[in-house]
Amino acid sequence: MRTLRLGLVASLARPSRNATGVTLLLDDTASKRLELIKEVMPRVRRTAFLWNPDHPDNELVEAQRAAPALNMELQRVEMRDSNDLESALRSVGDARPDALYVVSSRFTVLNIPRIVEFANANRIPLAAGWGAWARAGALLSFGPNTNEMGRRTAEYVDKIIKGSKPGDLPIQQPTRFELIINAKAAKVMGINVPPILLARADQVIE
C-alpha cells in the first residue's frame, strides 16, 4: 500500500506515529474491475484508464499487471484536477476505447455526473470504484461500501476524542465490497450482461 511506501506510517496494524484512519484504497481491486469489464464484454481490447498521477493509489500498476492476461490494452489518460476534465474527456473520445475505467479520486468523484454523461453519450461502457458511479449511470462499479467506511471513521473520531492515541489504532482497509450493475445503462448501449454476473451483483439498477 502506498501509505507504507511513502513512509507515512510504520505499519497498517500499528501506525506508531500520530496518525491513523480509514482508507478506501486497496490496490488489487483494479484487477477485479478489469475482470468484470471483460466478463460483461468479452471482446473488449482497448480500455481508457482515467487517473490522477498525483493521487496516492497504486491502481495503475495493478491494472497494468492484470491487463495482459485479459488480452486488454490500457490507454492512459491523465486528469490532475478539474481544469483537466474536458481535455481528458476529449483524449478519451479521440482514443475510441471499447471501455472506460475511472480511478476514483477527489476530482473524478467531484465530476461524476459529467464523466458519466460523456461516457453514455459516446456509448463507452464505464467502470469505476464506488456505488455512486453506477447509481449515476455508469455500467458498473466495484469497490468498498462507503457508508460502512464512513461509520468506521466516526467510530475512530469518537475513540480519539475519548483519549485513544491515533498511532495505536490500526489503519482500516475495506473488508466489504459491492458490485453494482446498471442494467438500464447496459440496455441503452446494447450490452447483454451475463445472467450469472447479474446474480452475483449486490445491486442491479433497472
Q: Is the pLDDT of residue 206 over 90?
A: yes
Alpha-carbon Rg for the chain in angstroms: 18
Domain spans in the chain, listed from the N-terminal domain onward: 2-147+173-197
What average pLDDT score do residues 124-149 get? 87
pLDDT above 90: residue 84 = yes
In this prediction, residues 37-52 reach a mean pLDDT of 96
| Cα separation values, 131 from 17, 110, 138, 146, 166, Å | 32, 14, 9, 8, 29
Q: What is the mean pLDDT of the chain?
A: 83
Q: Which of 92, 111, 104 is nearest to 46 (CA)?
A: 92
Lowest mean pLDDT among 66-70, 130-134, 201-205: 130-134
Largest distance between two CA atoms of the chain = 56
Is the C-alpha dihedral spanning 148, 186, 103, 198 positive or negative?
Answer: positive
pLDDT band at 34 (very low <50, low <70, confident <90, very high): very high
C-alpha cell belonging to residue 106: 477527489
pLDDT (0 to 100) of residue 28: 72
Buried-exposed string 133-166: b where 16+ CB fall within 10 A, e elsewhere: bbebbbbbbbbbbbeebeeeeeebeeeeeeeeeb
Running DSSP on this structure, what letter comes out for residue 187?
H
Rounded mean pLDDT, 22-44: 83
Q: What is the pLDDT of residue 129?
A: 86
What class, spelled out in words, does domain 2-147+173-197 have in CATH? alpha beta
Q: Which of 87, 55, 93 is nearest to 75 (CA)?
A: 93
How many angstroms separate the CA atoms of 9 and 3, rounded? 7
Q: Per-residue pLDDT averaged across 130-134, rounded?
A: 91
Nearest Cα neighbor of 74 from 49, 106, 92, 40 is 49
pLDDT of residue 27 exceeding 70, the answer is no
CA–CA gap between residue 120 and residue 65 (Å, rounded): 28
pLDDT value of residue 54: 87
Give the model's pLDDT for residue 98.
98
Rounded distance between C-alpha atoms, residue 103 and residue 106, angstroms: 10
Q: Is the pLDDT of residue 14 over 70?
A: no
